[in-house]
Amino acid sequence: MAKAKQKIDETKRDWRELMPLVELESRPVIMKRIGGKQIAVFRTDDGLRACDNRCPHEGYPLSEGSLSPDCVLTCNWHNWKFNLDTGENLYGGDRLRTYPLEVRGKSLWVDLTELPYAERYRAISDSLHDAFDDYSYDRIAREIARLIRIGADPLDVLRLTIDWSWQKMEFGWTHAYAGMADWLTLYDEHPDDAELRLVCLVEAVAHAAYDVLREHDYSFSTEAKAFDPDRFVADIEAEDENAAVAAIRGGIRDGLRFADFEEALSRAALQHYNDFGHSLIYVTKADALIERLGDTIMQPLLLSLVREIVYASREDKIPEFRAYASRLKQWGQHKNQVPDPALWRRKGIDKSLKAVIACSGSSPEQLYRALLLANAVNLLSFDIAQQDRIHVSVSGNVGWLDFTHGLTFASAVRRQCSRFPQLWPQGLLQMACFNGRNAAFTTPESGLEQWRPDNIAAQLERLLQKVLDHGQGEHIVAVHLLKTALAVREEIEQLEPVEAELMVAALTRFFESPLKRRQARRIAFQSLQFVARE
C-alpha cells in the first residue's frame, strides 16, 4: 500500500512575490533569484511554469534550455529532458524541482514551501535507489548530498545500500561490504570535512551498486532453528546453507547478538584455507559494520556472510596446499625454534608450513609477528615483471592484490585468534600458505632502501589521503588500497620502529607501482592452450 503524503499546512506555505508580470510580456523565459534559489519561469501554451534554473544533472542553466510545445524542457548541455509540469526526468535521472505559481494583481508569486521531511526523505531515497540500480556514480553522489542537506543521518545510505544489495550477491559477501567497513573508518576520522565524508559514503555505495548491477534477488531459506555453535560449523562444513541460515535466523529470533555468533563464524572461516583468506576478513568487517550501523543490518549481513563461507573455495583441498591438513595435526610436536622472518624468505608452501610447525612451541604472538613481516617482505619484493609475462600457466596469474592479502588476512588473524586463542594454529598456518604461494614470485632483493619512509606517520597519512582521491577505475583496486593501508596502520602498533618501517615501505611500493589488471594476451594464450587440450 502506498504511503499517504503528508498534508502541508496551508497557513505555513512560503509564498513570495517573484516579479511584476510586465517582465514576462516580451520574454518566453526569465530567471529570477529569490530565497537563495535561482528560479526559471517559462511562458507555455498552458500558462506559466517555474522550476529550478540549475539542471539537477550538472547545473547548466535551464533558462538556456529548449521548451517543446508539449511542455518538455531540454537541457542543451547533455540533452536531459524534463516534464515541466511534474519535474519528472524523461531519461530516468535526477528529478527537476518545479514550483507552484499564482498571479496576484500585477505580480507573479512563487511558492517556495518545502515538503514535509518524511516526504522529502522518501523522494530522495527512492531517487538514490534508482541511481544505485543504474550504477550512476555521480548521481549517487548528488542524491547522498541531498539527503545530507535535508538533515538525514548520512549513515542511512549505507543501511539502505545493504537492504538493496544483500540478496543480489549470488555467492554472498563481496569486497563491497568489507570496503564499506573500511570507508566508514575513514568517514569517522574526518568529522569536520564534508567533502571527504561524502567520498567515503559514495565509494561504499557505488561499490555495492557495481557488484550487484543487473543481478536479481537470490532467495534464502526462511526456516529458523535454535543456534548451536558446533552444529552451525558442521552445517557449513557440509555446505548445508539452509541449515546454517536457519541457525542464524533462530539465533537472532532468540535475541543473540553478533558476539554470540562470532566464535562459530571465525571457526567456520578458518575451517579451511577459505577463499584465499577472504572469509575470515569478512567476519571482522561484519563485526565493524554491525557495531557502527546497528542491529537492524545484522541479519542480512550474517545471512550473506554464511552464504559466502558455504560457497567459499577451500584452497587447502588442492594439491598446492594439501600439506596444510597434515601440518595442522602436528601442531606443537616439534622443537621450539625461534620465529624469524628469514625462515620464510623465498620458501615455498611446504617449507613455509614446516617452518611454522618447527616454531610452534613459541608463543602464537611471536609466530604471528614473524609471519606478518615475512608477508610484508613479499609485498616489498614482488617481481613486478610477473605482470608482463604472457606465457604462464593459470597458477601463475599472481599480482599485487594477491600479495596485499598476506597483510589484510594477517590483520584478521590477529584480531580473531586473539579473541579465540584455540584458532591460532589454523590462522598461523594459513598465513604461511600466503607466504609460500607468493614467495615464488619475489625477487632476491627487497628494495627496502628505495621505499623506506622518512617519517612513518606522515607517510601513512599521505597514502590514506591518496586513497580518498584514488583515481582508480575499478572498485576492487581502490578497496585494496584502502584496506591494506588500514591493516598496515593497525598492525604496526604492535611492532618495533624498524619493523614498522618495513611494513610502510611495502605499502608505499604497492601504492606507487604500476598495477596491471587486464591481461589480454595472457588470457588469449591460456585459453588457446586450454581449448587445445579439450
Q: Residue 41 pairs with which residues in a beta bridge?
A: 30, 50
The CA distance from 121 to 109, in Å, is 27
Q: Are residues 324 and 300 in the same domain?
A: no
Q: Are residues 269 and 388 in the same domain?
A: no
Q: Are residues 299 and 338 in the same domain?
A: no
CA-based end-to-end distance of the chain: 56
Residue 74, domain member (yes or no): yes
Residue 7, domain member (yes or no): no
SS3 of 130-161: the string is HHHHHCCHHHHHHHHHHHHHCCCCCCHHHHHH
The CA distance from 246 to 345, in Å, is 45
Q: Are residues 322 and 447 in the same domain?
A: yes
Residue 360, domain member (yes or no): yes
Q: Are residues 332 and 454 in the same domain?
A: yes
Residue 385, domain member (yes or no): yes
What is residue 362's DSSP assignment? Answer: S
Q: Residue 434 pairs with which residues in a beta bridge?
A: none
What is residue 4's DSSP assignment? Answer: P
Q: Are residues 322 and 346 in the same domain?
A: yes
> Which residue among 287, 313, 339 closes a domain?
313
The CA distance from 473 to 207, in Å, is 11
Q: How many domains does the chain have?
A: 4
Residue 70, domain member (yes or no): yes
Which pTM does this prediction carry? 0.93
Alpha-carbon distances of 154 from 141, 160, 180, rounded to whole Å? 12, 11, 13
The CA distance from 176 to 301, in Å, is 12
Q: What is the pLDDT along the chain (534 residues), one digit of tens a residue?
A: 344 455 566 667 999 999 999 999 889 999 999 999 999 999 999 999 999 999 999 999 999 999 999 999 999 999 999 999 999 999 888 999 999 999 999 999 999 999 999 999 999 999 999 999 999 999 999 999 999 999 999 999 999 999 999 999 999 999 999 999 999 999 999 999 999 999 999 999 999 999 999 999 999 999 999 999 999 999 999 999 999 999 999 999 999 999 999 999 999 999 999 999 999 999 999 999 999 999 999 999 999 999 999 999 999 999 999 999 999 999 988 778 999 999 999 999 999 999 999 999 999 999 999 999 999 999 999 999 999 999 999 989 999 999 999 999 999 999 999 999 999 999 999 999 999 999 999 999 988 999 999 999 999 999 999 999 999 999 999 999 999 999 999 999 999 999 999 999 999 999 999 999 999 999 999 999 999 999
> 34: part of which helix (H) or strand (E)?
strand 29-34
3-state secondary structure of 526: helix
What is the sign of the dihedral through the CA atoms of 415, 416, 419 and 424? negative
Residue 402, domain member (yes or no): yes
**231 burial via Cβ count (<10 Å: 0-12, 13-18, 19+):** middle
* The C-alpha cell that represents 130 in the structure block: 534508482
> Which residue among 313, 345, 369 closes a domain?
313
Q: Are residues 345 and 483 in the same domain?
A: yes
Cα three-residue angle 381-386-391, rounded to 5 degrees:
160
Alpha-carbon distances of 503 from 204, 407, 415, rounded to whole Å? 26, 9, 18
Residue 443, domain member (yes or no): yes
- Within 10 angstroms of residue 240's Cβ, the number of other Cβ atoms is 14
Residue 220, domain member (yes or no): no
pLDDT at residue 9, rounded to an integer: 64
pLDDT at residue 333, rounded to an integer: 81
> Which residue among 285, 313, 341 closes a domain?
313
The range of the structural domain enclosing residue 449 comes to 317-520
Contact by Cβ (8 Å): 16, 32: no
CATH code of the domain covering residue 238? 1.20.272
Q: Are residues 136 and 285 in the same domain?
A: no
Contact by Cβ (8 Å): 295, 284: no
CATH code of the domain covering residue 20? 2.102.10.10
pLDDT at residue 2, rounded to an integer: 41
CA contacts within 13 A on the Cβ side of 137? 10
Q: Are residues 323 and 309 in the same domain?
A: no
Q: Are residues 356 and 488 in the same domain?
A: yes
